[in-house]
């Protein structure tokens, strides 16, 4: 019979059942079945796969699946051979080992270190302890004094500090007359060391702050007043100069997330944001009464964890009354000042854009404020070259701001996302997925609801259902486009920026330059890439100055269009960065060549089968897209029809599907007038305008032949009208 190295209770080995997860184990077995589920083990990175990371634990190998990581797989900085700590979730009957990640990544992060052998658990060899300096077991079966001091370290100014990491410094001499303090709820603020060494709860530590009596409340108030006098408020931006100091911060909780160790609060003040770790015991929520958006006062010690500033929380209180109003007023004034763009200017000499600069500045301010407020930004863009370039422009501007705002390497994945949309329509399917995800993130991580930025999307009536669903949850929305928005969207969206006769990428690139002036030079060539024909001279010249001539812009446009088609539900962040910004030698050329090859092959099939019909001198080309295109292969129907319209000498091109008809023409025409004419001619067809970005009508498939004739006549009439 031995004693637990953490709490000293009698146990069959060096650790009791209660504290199995408080120590990290070295595994000296040779079979997966010898591992113990729930325990943390030291291991080494063995290699990567698309679905996760393989980790060696002693003589066996397990899988840390990518779903268990707190960041994307490609953002991990682990190299093969790196030491890491993982938790064993399960050992399957076939010997497969399922692993979970651990926020504690060194022996010093745990309260002890043990060796697990096939014959049982033991303390590490004394020689290894001296060499590695790991663990807190002292070799005698008793709890190490360093562990006790780290679990509940008492400071005369800040009160009990619950730390997820053992404190290498010796425990200070106790104050003979400790001042009682106000603290969190009973579960969050109790002293874990006292609980463990006195299971019966008979020892009086003199720091019980959770009584509901008036006397305790008076004592807490007095202690807070004394603490106020001892600790001066500092700002987040000054923390790098205060490592090791006990400080006070006031600000708003951006998020609260529970890890397998401490609770981590993201605290924002008027100058920045910082992670604050509060520890009760592994996996237990500290300060459960504190939620996202609460304004708080936090005292704690400034530390550096994995090269990032972090506060080890000593006390955390929610502010009310005058204290609350003072912090909110200070933060609002600072946010307004910080969110304003440095400058709002057109990228090139473009009167259409210059007329919209006021709106561009307003949208840029809204995006910048979202970053400052730790509000996630979700860019929803059309799955076309124009949509991808527009989304990439916003991404290029926002990511550096997110990185600067958050002291976390993976913040760019938590606070920014870009998701393409089919045909630029934000329907109920898309909105339902987004709402489900954002509500889940709010529930699990206390995240704010995201700012949705629609680029080359969301401006048509077909998106109204999705936009209205977001409005129900008060999720803010911004729409950027290069075409006039439908009246219904104009009435629905207050942050709407649509510049006629310009691409969405032109609008988005100008907004992006206002959001982050530092990347203005990176954006210069983007507008020219987004025009399939008649690139405005000002943007062609701007791209040329940036090293992207007309031929290079064409290759980039074609490459983006091809990649936009394949797996269009993915954002392809790195690939788009390589194409648009890194300009990797050969990449654009290789992908562009595929674009040309596939498009020409489809045109070779489509053009001979396109039927020309002439009505009153107006020629309309009709292509049966169901019969004479490869429906599920590149190019998509709308890109093929666009190219046919540019190549053929027809007043209009009509693409006829099973129950929908697409119309292309260089002449502006009234689609509703066409629909009304067809409905009158074929009333049984239930012809309707779905409000898509590209001119399209829907009908009942049984009336397809009659609808075809009616559409051709109606289109010939409306496109001939301007010249009549």
The answer as to whether 595 is a domain residue is no
Dihedral, CA atoms, 344, 350, 354, 355, nearest 10 degrees? -160
Q: What is the pLDDT of residue 357?
A: 96
Quote the crossing angle between the two packed helices 671-681 and 704-720, to the nearest 10°: 140
Same domain, 415 and 323: no
Q: What is the pLDDT of residue 508?
A: 98
The answer as to whether 84 is a domain residue is yes
Same domain, 432 and 468: yes
Residue 99's CATH number: 2.40.50.140
Decide which of 291, 318, 339 is a domain's last residue.
339
The answer as to whether 453 is a domain residue is yes
The answer as to whether 106 is a domain residue is yes
Q: What is the pLDDT of residue 569?
A: 73
CB 680 within 8 A of CB 640: no
**Which class for 613: exposed (0-12), middle (13-18), buried (19 or more C-beta within 10 A)?**
middle
Same domain, 631 and 605: yes
- Domain carrying residue 267: 146-172+179-199+213-339
The answer as to whether 592 is a domain residue is no
Same domain, 484 and 381: yes
Same domain, 443 and 544: yes
Q: What is the pLDDT of residue 9?
A: 83
Q: What is the pLDDT of residue 721?
A: 64
The answer as to whether 208 is a domain residue is no
Q: What is the C-alpha separation between 459 and 386, in angstroms, rounded?
A: 14
What's the average pLDDT block by block, 10 residues per block, for the chain (724 residues)? 81 87 91 91 87 88 86 80 91 87 85 91 66 40 36 34 40 44 39 36 36 40 46 90 93 86 89 90 88 93 87 94 92 84 95 96 94 92 95 96 80 89 92 94 83 96 95 96 93 92 97 97 96 95 95 95 84 87 82 95 94 93 93 89 92 95 92 94 95 91 95 91 52
- Tokens 């330059």, residue located: 513
Give the count of domains, the chain: 4
Same domain, 629 and 568: no
CB 642 within 8 A of CB 532: yes
Same domain, 130 and 156: no
The answer as to whether 594 is a domain residue is no
Same domain, 554 and 674: no
Same domain, 568 and 604: no
Q: What is the pLDDT of residue 412?
A: 84
Non-local CB neighbours of 502 within 8 Å, separated by 6+ positions: 350, 352, 353, 482
Non-local CB neighbours of 279 within 8 Å, separated by 6+ positions: 162, 163, 164, 192, 261, 262, 263, 286, 312, 313
Same domain, 373 and 303: no
Residue 702's CATH number: 3.10.310
CA angle, 485 as apex, 482 and 486 as ends, to 5°?
150
Alpha helices of 65-169 — where are they, by DSSP H?
A: 126-132, 145-151
**Which class for 170: exposed (0-12), middle (13-18), buried (19 or more C-beta within 10 A)?**
exposed
């Amino acid at each position: 019979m031995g004693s637990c190295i953490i709490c000293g209770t009698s146990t069959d080995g060096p650790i009791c059942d209660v504290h199995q997860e408080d120590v990290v184990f070295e595994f000296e077995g040779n079979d997966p079945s010898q591992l113990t589920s729930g325990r943390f083990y030291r291991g080494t990175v063995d290699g990567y796969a698309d679905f996760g990371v393989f980790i060696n634990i002693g003589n066996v190998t397990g899988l840390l699946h990518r779903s268990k990581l707190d960041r994307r797989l490609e953002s991990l900085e682990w190299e093969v051979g790196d030491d890491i700590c993982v938790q064993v979730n399960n050992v399957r009957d076939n010997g497969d080992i399922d692993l979970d990640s651990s926020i504690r990544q060194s022996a010093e992060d745990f309260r002890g270190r043990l060796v697990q052998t096939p014959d049982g658990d033991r303390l590490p060899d004394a020689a290894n302890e001296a060499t590695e300096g790991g663990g807190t077991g002292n070799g005698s079966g008793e709890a190490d004094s360093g562990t006790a001091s780290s679990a509940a370290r008492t400071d005369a100014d800040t009160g009990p500090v619950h730390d997820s990491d053992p404190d290498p410094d010796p425990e200070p001499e106790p104050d003979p007359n400790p001042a009682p303090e106000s603290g969190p709820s009973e579960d969050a603020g109790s002293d874990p060391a006292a609980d463990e060494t006195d299971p019966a709860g008979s020892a009086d530590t003199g720091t019980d702050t959770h009584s509901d009596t008036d006397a305790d409340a008076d004592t807490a108030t007095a202690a807070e007043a004394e603490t106020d006098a001892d600790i001066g408020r500092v700002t987040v931006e000054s923390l790098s100069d205060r490592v090791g100091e006990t400080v006070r911060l006031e600000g708003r909780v951006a998020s609260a997330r529970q890890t397998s160790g401490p609770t981590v609060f993201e605290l924002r003040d008027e100058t920045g944001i910082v992670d604050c770790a509060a520890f009760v015991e592994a996996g237990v929520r500290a300060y459960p009464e504190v939620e996202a958006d609460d304004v708080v006062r936090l005292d704690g010690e400034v530390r550096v964890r994995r090269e990032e500033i972090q506060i080890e929380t000593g006390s955390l209180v929610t502010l009310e009354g005058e204290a609350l109003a003072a912090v909110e007023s200070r933060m609002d004034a600072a946010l307004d000042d910080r969110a304003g763009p440095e400058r709002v200017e057109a990228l090139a000499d473009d009167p259409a854009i210059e007329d919209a600069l006021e709106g561009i500045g307003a949208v840029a301010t809204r995006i910048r404020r979202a970053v400052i407020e730790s509000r996630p930004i979700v860019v929803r863009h059309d799955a076309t070259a124009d949509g991808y370039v527009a989304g990439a422009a916003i991404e290029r501007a926002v990511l550096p701001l997110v990185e600067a705002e958050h002291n976390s390497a993976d913040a760019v994945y938590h606070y920014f996302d870009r998701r393409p949309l089919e045909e630029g329509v934000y329907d109920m399917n898309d909105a339902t997925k987004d709402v489900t995800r954002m509500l889940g993130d709010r529930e699990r991580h206390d995240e704010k609801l995201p700012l949705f930025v629609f680029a080359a999307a969301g401006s048509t009536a077909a998106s109204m259902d999705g936009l209205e669903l977001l409005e129900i949850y008060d999720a803010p929305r911004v729409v950027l486009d290069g075409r006039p928005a439908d009246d219904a969207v104009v009435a629905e969206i207050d942050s709407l920026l649509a510049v006629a006769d310009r691409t969405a990428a032109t609008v988005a690139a100008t907004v992006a330059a206002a959001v982050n002036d530092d990347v203005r030079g990176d954006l210069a060539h983007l507008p020219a890439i987004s025009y399939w024909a008649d690139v405005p001279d000002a943007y062609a010249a701007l791209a040329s100055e940036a090293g992207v001539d007309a031929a290079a812009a064409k290759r980039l446009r074609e490459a983006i269009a091809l990649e936009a088609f394949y797996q269009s539900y993915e954002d392809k962040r790195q690939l788009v960065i390589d194409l648009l910004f890194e300009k990797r030698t050969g990449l654009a050329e290789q992908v562009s060549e595929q674009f040309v090859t596939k498009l020409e092959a489809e045109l070779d099939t489509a053009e001979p089968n396109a039927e020309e019909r002439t009505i009153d001198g107006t020629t309309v080309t009709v292509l049966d897209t169901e019969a004479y295109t490869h429906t599920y292969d590149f190019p998509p129907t709308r890109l093929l029809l666009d190219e046919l319209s540019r190549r053929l000498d027809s007043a209009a091109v009509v693409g006829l599907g099973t129950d929908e008809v697409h119309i292309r023409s260089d002449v502006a025409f009234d689609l509703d007038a066409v629909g009304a004419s067809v409905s009158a001619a074929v009333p049984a067809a239930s012809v309707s305008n779905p409000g898509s970005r590209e001119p399209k009508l829907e009908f009942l498939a049984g009336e397809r032949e009659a609808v075809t004739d009616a559409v051709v006549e109606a289109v010939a009439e409306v496109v001939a009208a301007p010249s009549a």
